Structure 1
Amino acid sequence: MNGFVVGGTRSGVGKTVATLAIARALEAQGHDVQPAKAGPDFIDPSHHEAVTGTPSRTLDLWLEGREGTRRNYHRGDGDVCVVEGVMGLYDGDCSSTAMVADVLDLPVILVADAKAGMESVAATVHGFREYAAHAGRDIDVAGLVAQRAHGGRHEQGIRDALPEDLTYFGRIPPQSALEIPDRHLGLHMGEEAALDEAALDDAAETIRVDRLLDAAATPPRPEARPAADPMDTRIAVARDAAFCFTYPATVERLRERAEVVAFSPLAGDDLPACDGVYLPGGYPELHGEALEASPTLGEIATRAEDGTAVLGECGGLMALTESLTTTDGDTYEMAGVLPASVRMHDRYQALDHVELRATQDTLTAAADDSRRGHEFHYSSADVDSDARFAFDVVRGDGIDDGRDGLSEYRTLGTYCHLHAESGAFDAFVERAAER
């Protein structure tokens, strides 16, 4: 599958909108687009899926390694892959957009803000291309998509100023209908704030699909991942607006190893008969009243006390604690499985790629195993003095005093989000089957 990376000169330059316009332009000409996202984000991929109808692949070197990143790319389904970058092209010490493009050997389509420039925009793209050699990155900055560029003289001035070996791939017109609202953790999710269809179609018409396809390349084939036998195990996965941060690769791996059944705590669903429960991250803080009233959290608590394996990540961790207090001062009772209370803040409390080392056997790792993941949250946890933790934090913040993996019964709650390539979910299925 051919593809390319949509990189940006900085965060907030409009990579997501450019990516969506490019995907729409490709689909308008009959191409089957596989979206992807460099970095550990859950929110931008929701917009990819809202526009293309296809789940977006996560490509992150820290979470997945070189071969895992290539495997996740090639697990995609389409004839062209559009990879949205993270932050500015070269930003990030663990898995920058440039690093991902290098490992996948894909060209970079650079998005630059053209609102108040013409020749300077061309100079910026030229500088980003030349910087690759200085940074030791074997990547090809192929050309430009001009963000917030008018047509006519403005567009022509940018095109005329580009060096001959940099391609002009089109522009994104300055329209308020192409702005996605944001909140803590980033943009609104795709199903909440879909872009105006007509505005997106207008933007797509400015994209030069022929030039994009000429620039696209195919990444090297990855090493095969060792096969793992299916187990006679059933895993219940929470899926709703409060628990919506799930990597496609994680659900795929769970389905390879176990039977997977979805349920919604927000809807008050009965917790299915299962050997393990997975509560992914999301926005429980936006649904405190509904979660407090939901009988599902009580059922999870009962199953946890009975020894069912329960894994909660970030938002899932929050739902497993005793209470959740919002920034407005409202406090809601949660499942009460883990000995902690959670409070929301106006500023983020942690944002980083992380590494954990298991101090004991736990649901996602054996003692002394390391797990790489990421954390991004606006909450903090006030834990009881006798709380038990399963991980020391090698890199990152964790829950409390350099520790993560709050544990009670066979329940594990972490601020760390893990990817299936880490082996964590294989371990979870196997531990769940032991009951």
Structure 2
Amino acid sequence: MRGLVIAGTHSGVGKTVATLAVCRALGTTRVAKAGPDFIDPSHHTAVTGDPSRTLDPWLCGVEGTRRNYYRGAKENGAGECCVIEGMMGLYDGTVSTARVAEVLDVPVILVVDASAGMESVAASALGFRRYAEHAGRAIDVVGIIAQRTHGGRHERGIRDALPDSLAYFGRIPPREDLEIPSRHLGLHMGQEAPLSEDALDATAAHIDADRLRSVARAPPSPTADEREHNRAPTGARDKRTEPRIAVARDDAFCFVYPAVRECLREQATVIPFAPTAGDDLPACDGVYLPGGYPEKHATALAASPALDTIRERATDGLPVFGECGGLMALSESLTVDGETHAMAGVLPAEITLCDQYQALDYVELEATRETLTARVGETFRGHEFHYSRADVANDARFAFDVRRGTGIDDAHDGLTEYQTLGTYCHVHAECGAFDQFVKTVGDT
């Protein structure tokens, strides 16, 4: 499947809106996100109806990034163009949008803020194209989408100033109904603040879909994933013997990579439940609590029967894995705006939501003990982004040393008690942690 990257000159330039407009113009449901983001993909899904793939060479490796790209194509069908939204500015970050474009060998369309410029917009875009050669980057910046651009003379001035090496793919008009509100972790989720159909249709009319299709190209084919070969096809599985894993799925636990859902579904019977809606924990052999916004739903979580049942079952040895928001829910308490709410009380930590973020980085962890997601000595990579801090008990036990990142206490991550594990680190299915989790649940 052919693809292209929608990159930006800087954060906040409007990549998400441009990506959604391009998807609407192309009539495509195939969409992906460069980097470890959970929020922008929720907007992709709200508009296209399909899950947005995560493409990140740090989390997934080069071949894993290509596998995730093509797995989306395999699931959704070929013959379309996949639109990949970049992160930050094109060249910014440990794993930049430029790096993702290199790994996939797909063209880059640059979103440029043209609200106060015309010829200078072309000059800026030309600099981004030439910088690739200067920096030795094997990427191809093929043209621009002009953000916050009026029609008429404004648009003509930008288009006419572009050199032959840069194509003009259209504009995003300055409209108030194209603004997506933000909060502490980024934009509001797609289901909370979707763009209107009328606004997207009107914006898509200014995008040159035919020209975009003409420049898109297919990435190199990936190598096979040995873990997938070891997973039994759906028809060959015995549902009576495979593990049953309860997965929290509501507004408090909404940060899950599509590949993680797939990994769990391919090896276990997944039973979704919604703690904030009053659901109790269903009958299961293991529990996965993803990240999300427990701080926004602390009152509902404190009243949830699911947390009481998780505490009871966890003390009996039920395997429970919580990531970030899941860690917060498994702790003793969560304090938000000075009000303290009782949580599950499985892990010896008190969580406080802070005014500034406490960690934002890629993470590398090394297992120092046998745990739900890794064997002793194994390392894996992930990502952390949270505004809360954890004050842990003096006798707290950790499963991981932090080789990169912040973790729970600057040196450790993976707070563990009984058969329960809580991390601030989010991991992707490509690292193997969820394969190990399913195996541990099945063996318990």
Q: TM-score, normalised by structure 1?
A: 0.98
1:361 is the counterpart of 2:370: yes
Cα distance in structure 2, aligned partners of 1:106 and 1:301 = 48
1:277 is the counterpart of 2:309: no
Give the structure 2 partner of residue 308 of structure 1: 318
Asked whether the equivalents of residues 323 and 336 of structure 1 are also in contact (C-alpha less than 8 Å), the reply is yes
What's the CA shift for 1:401?
3.6
Give the structure 2 partner of residue 211 of structure 1: 211
Kindly provide the amino acid, as one letter, of the partner of residue 288 in structure 2: Y
Give the structure 1 partner of residue 237 of structure 2: none
Cα distance in structure 1, aligned partners of 2:215 and 2:312 = 56
Give the structure 1 partner of residue 34 of structure 2: 38
1:258 is the counterpart of 2:230: no
What's the CA shift for 1:69?
0.1
Cα distance in structure 2, aligned partners of 1:401 and 1:379 = 13
Cα distance in structure 1, aligned partners of 2:243 and 2:39 = 30
Give the structure 1 partner of residue 93 of structure 2: 92
Cα distance in structure 1, aligned partners of 2:152 and 2:231 = 60
Give the structure 1 partner of residue 146 of structure 2: 146
Give the structure 1 partner of residue 188 of structure 2: 188
Cα distance in structure 2, aligned partners of 1:199 and 1:252 = 33
2:231 to 229, 232, 239: 229
Q: 252-261 or 408-417: which moved more? A: 252-261
What's the CA shift for 1:270?
2.3
What's the CA shift for 1:229?
3.4
Cα distance in structure 2, aligned partners of 1:310 and 1:259 = 15
Give the structure 2 partner of residue 289 of structure 1: 299
Cα distance in structure 2, aligned partners of 1:235 and 1:12 = 38
**SS of structure 2 residue aligned to 1:160:** helix
What's the CA shift for 1:41?
0.2
Give the structure 1 partner of residue 236 of structure 2: none
Kindly provide the amino acid, as one letter, of the partner of residue 260 in structure 1: V
What's the CA shift for 1:196?
2.2
What's the CA shift for 1:267?
1.2
Cα distance in structure 1, aligned partners of 2:120 and 2:153 = 15
Q: How does 1:332-351 map to 2 (within 5 A)?
A: 332-351=341-360
Cα distance in structure 2, aligned partners of 1:229 and 1:51 = 32
Asked whether the equivalents of residues 29 and 49 of structure 2 are also in contact (C-alpha less than 8 Å), the reply is no
Give the structure 2 partner of residue 407 of structure 1: 416
Cα distance in structure 2, aligned partners of 1:379 and 1:305 = 25
Q: What residue ranges of structure 1 are gaps of 5+ in the alignment?
A: none
**SS of structure 1 residue aligned to 2:164:** coil
Give the structure 2 partner of residue 105 of structure 1: 105
% identical aligned pairs? 68
Kindly provide the amino acid, as one letter, of the partner of residue 187 in structure 1: L
Q: What residue ranges of structure 2 are gaps of 5+ in the alignment?
A: 233-240
What's the CA shift for 1:155?
0.2
1:81 is the counterpart of 2:82: yes
Could you list the runs of 4 or more consecutive aligned residues of structure 1 that deviate by over 4 angstroms after TM superposition? none
**SS of structure 1 residue aligned to 2:436:** helix
Give the structure 2 partner of residue 117 of structure 1: 117
**SS of structure 1 residue aligned to 2:32:** strand
2:430 to 417, 421, 426: 421
Q: 212-221 or 72-81: which moved more? A: 72-81
**SS of structure 1 residue aligned to 2:146:** strand
Cα distance in structure 1, aligned partners of 2:277 and 2:180 = 27
Cα distance in structure 1, aligned partners of 2:231 and 2:92 = 39
Kindly provide the amino acid, as one letter, of the partner of residue 301 in structure 2: L
Cα distance in structure 1, aligned partners of 2:29 and 2:119 = 32
Q: CA RMSD in A?
A: 0.8
What's the CA shift for 1:234?
1.2
Cα distance in structure 2, aligned partners of 1:7 and 1:363 = 37
Give the structure 1 partner of residue 174 of structure 2: 174
Cα deviations by residue, 1:345-380 (Å, 9 ceiling, x for unpaired): 111000000000000111110001001000000000
Cα distance in structure 1, aligned partners of 2:38 and 2:369 = 29
1:268 is the counterpart of 2:274: no
Kindly provide the amino acid, as one letter, of the partner of residue 103 in structure 1: V
What's the CA shift for 1:255?
1.1
Give the structure 1 partner of residue 405 of structure 2: 396
**SS of structure 2 residue aligned to 1:416:** coil
What's the CA shift for 1:191?
0.2
**SS of structure 1 residue aligned to 2:276:** coil
Cα deviations by residue, 1:390-427 (Å, 9 ceiling, x for unpaired): 00000000001410000000000000000000000000
Asked whether the equivalents of residues 101 and 139 of structure 2 are also in contact (C-alpha less than 8 Å), the reply is yes
Kindly provide the amino acid, as one letter, of the partner of residue 352 in structure 1: D
Q: TM-score, normalised by structure 2?
A: 0.96
Q: How does 1:60-71 map to 2 (within 5 A)?
A: 60-71=56-67
Kindly provide the amino acid, as one letter, of the partner of residue 261 in structure 2: V
Cα distance in structure 2, aligned partners of 1:118 and 1:276 = 58
Asked whether the equivalents of residues 146 and 171 of structure 2 are also in contact (C-alpha less than 8 Å), the reply is yes
1:55 to 51, 56, 66: 51
Kindly provide the amino acid, as one letter, of the partner of residue 62 in structure 2: R
Cα distance in structure 2, aligned partners of 1:223 and 1:302 = 44
What's the CA shift for 1:306?
1.0
Cα distance in structure 2, aligned partners of 1:236 and 1:114 = 48
Asked whether the equivalents of residues 48 and 55 of structure 1 are also in contact (C-alpha less than 8 Å), the reply is yes
Cα distance in structure 2, aligned partners of 1:331 and 1:228 = 45
Asked whether the equivalents of residues 171 and 206 of structure 2 are also in contact (C-alpha less than 8 Å), the reply is yes
Cα distance in structure 1, aligned partners of 2:355 and 2:144 = 36
Cα distance in structure 2, aligned partners of 1:405 and 1:377 = 15
Give the structure 1 partner of residue 137 of structure 2: 137
Asked whether the equivalents of residues 228 and 257 of structure 1 are also in contact (C-alpha less than 8 Å), the reply is no
What's the CA shift for 1:33?
2.5
**SS of structure 2 residue aligned to 1:382:** strand
